[in-house]
Amino acid sequence: MGTPDGLDRELLAMAREGKLTGLRSTRIDLVQDWLDRGLSAEATCKRLTAYNRSVVLAVLEAHAEEHPWLRSCTFLEFGSGGRDEQSVGSDQDNGLLMRVSPDPDELDEVTQSIVVALDGAGLALCEGQVMVNNPQWRGDFDDWLARLTGWLSNPAERGSWQSGLVLDFRAVFGAPRDAILLRERLWEYVRTKPIALSLLIGELTDYRMPLTFYGAFVTEKDGPWQGFLNLKKSVLAHLTNGTRILALKYNLPEHNTCDRLRALSAAGHVSSRHAVQLLDGWEYLQRKRLDIALDCARDDAKPHCYVKPSALEPAERDRLKAAIHAVEKLVRLVQAGIGL
């Protein structure tokens, strides 16, 4: 079997020699350059995800040269990586779909080596342990299908990750057909099982718009982030989840949130005006996350998603409020059913 398409030879050489640590600063420089050149947050995140994927390819290929059975496996990328929406500081969310049964000790050793190598390359370890070194995130096709459908249909089985994470994935290394089939089977399961779909919608039930009736921002009341708003958890995650549910309903092939919104608008499922508002909101929120992450990188601090509304310029506060209102409208529409 040949080497994967899109494999970067320079990155492969670095992976073979265990010299990927410099990629942390390279990644920061690339993102800053893209933004300085006027690229949108959407285009920047797509480019960054593609770059990170090339790093993953190099690491997997270097390991496959020593452990050929890896070529019979499909390395899955979940969450923001599966949607082409990675930001600076995005961590690992991956799994291994296997067609072989290697020695258990070797499997543990190799998968641990993979996640450590990726961490060294700047793709941080996942705090929720959504990684190939965790036995729960590897197995054959039937294992994966039973596991994912079980997680989606039983609230007690849900972990620290959201259900949406397991619905957005794609193959990075190995045979993509297995990942495509798994995704098709999984999406069909959700669409045809009312309990699974209701649980996804239920994740939006507790949504509270981070604005008061009078238009004041609802921020953290205490702790180190007192007075701050978490852009990802309070706004962006609900935009992503609501859009994904509609993509499920209408069986759209798009992986990316912005592409899904455009497809939903083109098909008449979301009004063109609302889609423009949501796209503008996504662009603002994700660009803000990128800027915050770049600032953190300069200070050698861990990236975060917090912003202090009181410190924003009036125009920025207005744009943040507009994004929040657009997302709230989307969440309410999904909760109301709109034919679901």
- Could you tell me if 134 and 263 lie in one domain? no
- Could you tell me if 122 and 213 lie in one domain? no
Which residue is associated with the tokens 């995140």? 45
- Could you tell me if 31 and 164 lie in one domain? yes
Do 246 and 264 contact (CB within 8 A), yes or no? yes
Find the radius of gyration of the CA atoms of the chain: 20
- Could you tell me if 165 and 258 lie in one domain? no
- Could you tell me if 298 and 239 lie in one domain? yes
Helix or strand or coil: residue 7?
coil
H helix intervals, the chain: 9-17, 23-36, 41-66, 104-120, 141-153, 163-167, 176-192, 194-202, 231, 237-249, 257-266, 272-298, 314-336
Q: Specify if 1 maps to a domain.
A: no
Q: Specify if 198 maps to a domain.
A: no
- Could you tell me if 162 and 302 lie in one domain? no
- Could you tell me if 175 and 284 lie in one domain? no
Q: Specify if 19 maps to a domain.
A: yes
Helix or strand or coil: residue 5?
coil
Q: Specify if 257 maps to a domain.
A: yes
User: Whole domain around residue 326: which residue ranges?
Assistant: 204-336
CA dist 96 and 74 (Å) reads 6
Query: φ and ψ at 74, to 5 degrees?
Result: -115, 120
Number of domains in the chain: 2
What was the pLDDT predicted at 339? 45
Do 288 and 282 contact (CB within 8 A), yes or no? no
Query: Looking at residue 22, which CATH number applies to its domain?
Result: 3.30.460.10
* Strand arrangement of the beta sheet that strand 169-173 belongs to: 138-139, 94-98, 73-78, 169-173
Provide the token pair at 58.
Answer: 């190099």
Query: Looking at residue 301, which CATH number applies to its domain?
Result: 1.20.120
Q: Specify if 197 maps to a domain.
A: no
Q: Specify if 95 maps to a domain.
A: yes
- Could you tell me if 60 and 122 lie in one domain? yes
- Could you tell me if 242 and 164 lie in one domain? no
Write the CB contacts of 310 (distance below 8 Å, at least 6 apart in sequence).
217, 227
Q: What is the pLDDT along the chain (340 residues), one digit of tens a residue?
A: 456 766 788 898 988 988 898 888 899 999 999 999 999 999 999 999 999 999 999 999 999 999 999 999 999 999 999 999 999 988 999 999 999 999 999 999 999 999 999 999 999 999 889 999 999 999 999 999 999 988 888 766 665 456 678 889 999 999 899 999 999 999 999 888 888 888 788 777 767 889 998 889 999 999 999 999 999 999 999 999 999 999 988 889 999 999 999 999 999 999 999 999 999 999 999 999 999 999 998 888 888 999 999 999 999 999 999 999 999 999 998 988 754 4
Provide the token pair at 301.
Answer: 């601090």
- Could you tell me if 221 and 123 lie in one domain? no
